[in-house]
Amino acid sequence: MRATLFGASGLLGQELVHELSGNELSGNERSGEQLTALSAEDADLRDHARVRDVIRDSRPDWILLSAAYTDVDGCESNRDLAFAVNCEGAVNVAEAAREAGSRLMFLSTDYVFDGSKGSPYETGDPRNPTSVYGESKARAEERLLEILPEVCIARTSWLFGHGGKCFPATILKLASTRPEISVVNDQRGSPTFTRDLASALAELCRASARGIVHVTNSGDCTWYEFANAIVRASGLPTAIKPVTTAEFPRPARRPAYSVLSPDSLHAYHIRMPEWQDALRRYLGSAPAASR
């Protein structure tokens, strides 16, 4: 089976390259996979002609779109760029996928929700983003479902992994030089290891998944609880101080609660490990490039 990946150099993209290279998505045999892995330098999503040419030439059965403008705070001051990449860029890929007869998997986010719900978000809950980033992704979801009704939209959250900036790496860096770190304790979500996410996405492709699917590691925590687990596991003596979001204002508003229900994923008989287990493996594993 042929696959084309947009966003190959990103945090998730690097794991998807490892997961999809040499893997057969359409059956039990894991051989014969043909992967076309593209970074932003290879194909700018805003360039409709380039996107169409890449998809026409690679003739993929599946297109995985993990490329995005993910600087949540940066999106607030660069609204046009956020929509050009995250929404119009996604539309370019969807239209090319339709022309080529390819299936499309689009990576989306918990930020399409406002965080006011007190129980895990289901796939059918209303979108109500409170940030430009979330709005650009929510609008993309709506457009893609119109263009390609069989699209698979995989929403995820709180990504961490090797090969780029992520929360555990930042906490470990700070903890190595400071006796105390302040971390917000009033935002709750599900940390998700890119290695586990890449594996689940490949399984969804094998299952010919369609519609919206929530894909995160199981369990939930606050950023403060996540930071505590990171520091404890690393054996560093740094103290973690809980603070409120109001004490650390950011340009983009974050959902106070963005836990995603796993029911849609379980419907495909796919279950994700607990985030604590994922963190242990992250701390004890090597980056994808060295495997």
Annotated catalytic residue, options 121, 133, 224, 282? 133
Structure tokens at 271: 């279950």
Using CA atoms, how far apart are residues 130 and 132, in angstroms rounded to an integer? 7
Strand positions, DSSP E, the chain:
2-6, 34-38, 62-65, 103-109, 152-156, 159-160, 180-184, 188-189, 192-193, 211-214, 221-222, 239-243
What residues have CB less than 8 Å from 147, skipping those under 6 apart? Answer: 91, 94, 95, 98
- 133 is known as an active-site residue: yes
Structure tokens at 187: 């935002």
Using CA atoms, how far apart are residues 252 and 61, in angstroms rounded to an integer? 37
Using CA atoms, how far apart are residues 125 and 257, in angstroms rounded to an integer? 14
Catalytic residue set: 133
